[in-house]
Structure formats: C-alpha cells, structure tokens
Chains A and B, each alone.
Chain A
Amino acid sequence: MSEVSKSSSGNGFEPRIVGFFCNWCTYTAADLAGTSRLTYAPNVRVLRVMCSGRLDPQFILDAFRKGADGVLIGGCHPGDCHYQAGNHKALRRYTLLKRLLKTMGIEEERVRLEWISASEGDKVQRVINEMTEDIRRLGPLRLPPIPHAGRMPGEAVERVSSIGQETGL
C-alpha cells in the first residue's frame, strides 16, 4: 500500500497525475523550475518523451487504467516544436481523445494539454498546482477493475505464452 493512497484514505485525497513532457520544451521547463527552486505539488510524476507527438492516446488510457487520477501533457508552443509540427499532431489526437473521454465519463479537468516552453519554469509550477487542486476537488477517478481470467486487454500475445500447445487431436 502506498503512502499516497494511504493518505487518500485518511483526511485528504492526494491525486496521482502522470505527466508526459516533451524533451525540448516542457521537460526542460520542469528542470528550469527545479534550478529556480520553484516548489510545487508533488502529485505529478513526469515521463519524458522526445516530442508530444509521440503521445499515443493508449498511454493516457493506460495511465488511468493503472490508477492515475489525471494526465498532464506538456509540449512546445505551436510553431516552436523542435520537430516542426509534432505538437500539432498531439493537439489533433488530444482534441479527438477529449471528446471520446467525455462520453466515457471522464471529467474535462483530468486530461490537460499545456504548451510550456523551455523558459516557462513558472508555468510548470502554476499548471501542476492548478491541476492538482482541480483533481483534488474532483476526487479519485475510481476506474472499476477489470477481471482478467485470460489476458489483459490487448496485452501482447507473445507475453502470455510463447510455447505452442498440443491439441490432443
């Protein structure tokens, strides 16, 4: 049992948020927030990708499936993408995904896309604090567990078994 979830069963709920930050802008901005000693809520745990364009919507759903209460995506400002237009691709997927998530009962605030440039350490601080508070207000996501008698949804076949079976026929 984790400390975070322990405290969530106690007086205050501590949201767990997965951050997907692009290497060139938002991850660098998060480092800058660090070197500038800007303290902020410890609830966002960041995973680095080269570009927000790498973000497969499956990762976002997977993070929720694994217990995240929110997902924060950080990319370069439009026009500033290190890879020209990866952030536009991220925006296209995000826009459509948000609509899907809405019909799936996921509140607006739980998935957030922010353009944060390498120089905006203060924005990292602000966005993380805001989002943590927003989700604290919403409460935990409580995604119902999936029973899996067989395999996890979509889990790679190779991982279940790599040995051929005898049919006995």
Chain B
Amino acid sequence: MTAIQGDGSIRIGVFICHCGINIAAKVNISEVVEFAKTLPHVAYATDYQFLCSDPGQELIKTHIRENNLNRIVVASCSPLMHEVTFRRAAGEAGLNPFYVQMANIREQVSWVTKDMKSSTTKAKALVAAAVRRVARHDALEVRQVPVKADVLVVGGGIAGIQAALTIANSDKKVYLVEREPTIGGHMAQFDKTFPTLDCAACILTPKMSSVAVHPNITLLTFSEVVSVEGYTGNFRVRIKRKPRYVIEDKCVGCNACVDACIYKQPRFPDEFNVGLSKRKPVYMPFPQATPSVVLIDPESCIQLKKGTCKMPCVDACDRNAIDFNQKEEFLDVDVGAIILATGYQPFNPSRIPEYGYGKYPNVYTGLEVERLVNAAGPTQGQIVLKDGTKPKSVGIIHCVGSRDQKTNPYCSRVCCMYSLKLAHLIKERTEAEVFNFYIDMRAAGKGYEEFYDRVMSEQVQVIRGRVAEVTDWAVTPEEEGKLVLRVEDTLVGVARRIPVDMVVLSVGLEPQPDVEQVQRLFNISCSKGGWLLERHPKLAPVSTFTDGIFIAGACQGPKDIPDCVAQAGAAAGEAMALIDKGHVDLEPNAAHVRENCSGCRTCISACPFHAISLDKETGLSVVNEALCKGCGTCVASCPSGVAQQQMFTDEQIYEEIEGIMNYV
C-alpha cells in the first residue's frame, strides 16, 4: 500500500476546497494556494470548488498519480465530516489512507471569522500545521476484528422488548436483562395509552409473552449487568442473577405457594401498584408478569429472615420449585453489540413540598392514578379517595418536576398528554369536575391535538398557570375539608383558589437514580442532567460515543411510547448492521511502548481500559492493542517518552505546533 517512491523523498500535495462560497467567501483561496506552495515538501498545491464531490476526489487521485504525491493535505471542512472520504480517495489512488491530513478551514475558520484577512491568515496557519504534520505520518493499516454474533439488551421495558424482538426475529440470539422480577417496565403499569386510549396491557402483554417464548431470546429477569469488558463487536458481559428463592424452570406461576403462605393476608407494600395495595412475602408481581414465576422477598419472608417459618409454601408447591438456599449466580456472555434501554424514574414530587405530596393523603402522582383507574389495580378500577368516597372534583397539575429551574429545566414531553388522558378517564369513571393546570399545552404528535380537542369537548377545565401551592387551609366555607389549589390564571390575570377533593401531580421523567453507574459500566457519556448521550442529536440518535453500544427509549431523554418503540427499532437496526457486517474496523490509533521502557508502570495506572500490563518475563509494559482505545493518556504520562500513540505521536504534534506557530 505504501507509496513512498524512488528516493523516499516526501512529496506533499495540498488541496484547498472552496466549498462553494462557504470557504471561498471568507478565505482568499489563491493566496492560500500560493502560500502552500512555499511550505516544505509541498510538491503540488491547487484548489477546487467541491473536493468532496466525485470530480473533486478524482482530481485528488489524478494529482497523486501524476505528481507522484505521497502525502496529501486537504483543507476543507472538519475531519469529523470528510476525513473518511479523502482517506478513501487516497487509498484508491494507491496511497496509504493514513498519509492524509485535513485542515479544518470551514467550521473553524470561514464560518467563525468575521473578516477575510484574519480568515486567510488562520487558514494558512492550519494548512502549514497540516503540511508539517503529514510529513511525519506513518503508513498504517486499519485493524479488522471479527464480531460476536449475539446481542445484549439491557432493560425490559417497551423499548428493550421491542429491540429484543426485532433482533431475535432476524434469527440472532439476544440476551434480555431486566433487574426487576418481570419485564414490562412502566408501560405495564399504565391503564390506557394516549391518544388512542388503547389498553396498555392489551398491546403490551402479547409482546411480553413473545419474548418469553422466543427461541432466540434468553430472558434474564431479576438480573443485573455487573461488568463489561472488551470493545465493539467483542464485549464480555458479566450478569448477576439475584436469587428469587424459586427455581425459575420449575415454577409455573400457579400461585399455590402464595395462597399457602403463613401470612394469611397481604401485609407488604406492592411495588407494582406503587404501594397502593399489599402483597405477601411470596408473590407474583402482577398477573401477566413475564416470566410467570413467583419470587420471595427476603426482607419480609420469615424463613429467610429468621429461619423459623413452617414453610407451608414449600409443601404447597407440587413441583418443588421453592429453594430457600438459592444464591446469586453469575453468567458471562459474549456479545457483539449492546442496546441500553434502561428507562427513567418518575419525578418524586415530595421534592416540591408546597404541593403537599406525602402530607395530604389525597394528593396522588400520575402513576398512582394509572393504577387506580386500572381494572386490575388496587381498587379494581374505582377512582376513590383514601376514605373510599368518589371525588367530586379533581385538580391535575402539569409540569411537576419539569420546566422548572428548581427541579428540571426540560419538558418531560409526555405529561400534557397523560394529564389529558387521566382527565378523560377520571371524568369517564367519576363524572367529577376536572381542572388541568398547565403552563403550555404541548400536544405535538400524530393525533395528539385531536385528542386535546376531544378532551376539551368533554368539559374538562383548563387553567393556564403554574400552581403555587396545594393547601388544606380553608378561607371560605366551600373550601372546608377540601384541598385548595392556589394559582394565577395567567389568561385572565387573576389569582384563584380552586378547591378540589383530589389532586393529581403530573410528574415528569427523570434519569434512573443509578444512571451514573450505568454510564461507568458501559463507558458512555451523559448529557446534562443524566440522560444517556447520543452520538449525534440528529444524525446518530441511538448510537453512543462507545462503538457497539446503542441506546433506546427514555434512558436517552423523556419520550412517549411510540418514540420509544421507534428508537428501539432503530437501535436494533444499528446492532444488526454491526453484526451482519461480521467485523469491525479499528482506527489504528493504538498506543505502543517502544524500546527502552524501564517498566516504571506509570502508564499502567494511567490506562482507563486496563490495556497495559507488565510483561512477566521482561518486566516491561506492553499494550494490548485489542483493548487500547487510543486516548493517548498513557503516552502523555510516560515519564521517559517511550510510549507513543499511532496517528498522534509526539513528533507529529510538535510538527503541528511548529506549523501553527512559525509560518504566519
């Protein structure tokens, strides 16, 4: 591949792009071309309208051949945009693709500089830097590594389920890991879904059972990822399986053990019903739980806590599925790609004390009301107050924990719509008067505005204003025994007091509380506030900066079910593209330790990826190229300068500084 010819002298070609007028309007192109011709080793310099176009690339190739160029500098847009393009062109002309260096004279010069003189000067400096640098480039080879064929999906909510099914349907093996005892996520807790009012369970449970029976899906519930090693195409993941004290393969979910439990009545808060009902120590999370397997809560089970129970559950199980000696187990899996669909947590409204959540019994969160209106919920679908009576008036407060500088500045995107849905359901079930307190009514989505119109036609009242306070301090006889919402009606411009029986807080969405752990575990970034960061907000929305790891659903940011499902499909597509390709190309920017290492070990502790170790025989440091991600931290730390990074050697950087500083 190498194209150093004859006497081995360096012959650099410099190509300056006009990018139409994007660069040419601010940079004096001919001046830069003439300047480039004066730089050391430059054998040829020219300019062109659009170098990234087919004729532009042809021009580069032609000049490489005709002028015997063995290095090229392309001064155009950002290397993040077109480095691949120009490397490919150089490769097609017989040049090693790594003999290319770009000077970013568009994004970092012409687009950001006011006057032509400064732009031209800066462009020249960057061209000189690239010329000095490229002279020191080495011929390198892209490394190809085969990929593992299986995929790991983390999180069994709707996004994880959709991603797992899509991949499994393409005949690839999927490991679906869910930390709760059942998949289904938040969607399983919802009653109806906006704007179509489909029953959430009716559309979700078929997907859940498809997961359970799919021959290509290994479902690992009540399990958590504890470590991730390797890199794109070749991850080794360790999964911890927490003990359920029930043998999953034997249990058929008949609930005989639940009936037999020493506790005749359920006494412990039921997680699925957000604490609004009780369960026993041995329980099925909810009727359609998948897998349909019970589990025993070690916090409340007498046998597990004290070892003194008669264990009627064991006797009741004719399949001998109960095993009090179960321990946590670890499972290692090798996968080529990982999809994170770890979801969100609802905002905890006790952080806004003026809304009285936890203080006034009849202040609920939206999720609690979802359970109340659900026929399988704690009240069999009856919307009742804590005293068992039906509310005659209900106030729904939007934007609780959203669009609020004190909590979360962002819009949670789903609250307006679910508030309207709850308004409709409450109205339908109780005929109560319903007030919605909103800041802006955000109904952007297919059929959403129509749904808003429909709810409006049902005489739901909407008041524009952020509620200041929920109080039980009555100032008029009508307010006695009620919860009073104090609000400024900003459309009318008056302060109002609205007494109601029940308050629903439309809480926003927040990142999972352990998102930092997820971020560390998978080595991905978070955007502000803790949402997992996509590689590009528009063009790579499900990719991350860690190759081979994709994100889907609300872990990336608040979104509704249709968007979660769409993202899950996109992430599945990305994962399949990676796996079907069969190999990954690695940038040859790995570090290596040259001769004369003294084995001081500084680089070993500097490496974030444990890619460097001490060779047992020589006592010197060696880099495992497969683990090295090419950050260069070890190189900077190496006290004797023997560690070097390909594509970013000390010499290349010194030359670049020289070029930047000493020509203009």
Contacts and interface: CB of A to CB of B under 8 A. Distances in A.
Contacts of A55: 636
B652 to A, nearest CB: 10
Nearest to B519: A79
Contacts of B654: 59, 62
B113 A39 contact: yes
Q: Which of B108, B546, B650, B662 has the most CB of A within 10 A?
A: B108
Interface stretch (B118-126, B208-216, B326-334): B118-126
A101 interface: no
Given A24-B545, A119-B527, A86 B664 contact: no
A82 interface: yes
Contact of A38 (B112, B533, B658): B112
A9 interface: no
Contact of B635 (A16, A27, A48, A56): A56
B512 interface: no
Interface size class of B (residues with CB under 8 A): 35 or more
A33 interface: yes
B653 interface: yes
A35 B111 contact: yes
B516 interface: yes
B501 interface: no
Interface stretch (B46-54, B315-323, B617-625, B626-634): B626-634
Given A42-B121, A53-B632, A67 B608 contact: no
B658 A3 contact: no
A112 to B, nearest CB: 17
B193 interface: no
A145 to B, nearest CB: 13
Contacts, number: 147
A54 B631 contact: yes
A144 B651 CA distance: 24
Contacts of B632: 49-51, 53-54, 86
A83 B656 contact: no
A86 B633 contact: yes
A80 B111 CA distance: 27
B519 A37 contact: no
Contacts of B630: 50
Interface in B638-664: 645, 648, 650-651, 653-654, 656-658, 660-664
Give the most central of A2, A45, A68, A80: most B CB within 10 Å: A45
Contacts of A33: 107, 112
A84 B520 contact: yes
B106 interface: yes
B637 interface: yes
A45 B126 contact: yes
A45 B107 contact: no
Contacts of B660: 18, 45, 47
B525 A49 contact: no
A99 to B, nearest CB: 18
8 contacts: A3-B117, A28-B80, A34-B111, A51-B631, A54-B636, A59-B654, A89-B633, A156-B651
Given A2-B121, A35-B111, A51-B632, 20 more contacts: A3-B664, A18-B657, A31-B81, A34-B107, A34-B112, A38-B112, A39-B112, A45-B126, A49-B648, A50-B631, A53-B632, A53-B636, A54-B645, A59-B657, A63-B661, A80-B525, A82-B546, A86-B631, A89-B606, A119-B537
The 3 tightest CB contacts between A and B, nearest first, are A34-B107, A54-B632, A53-B633
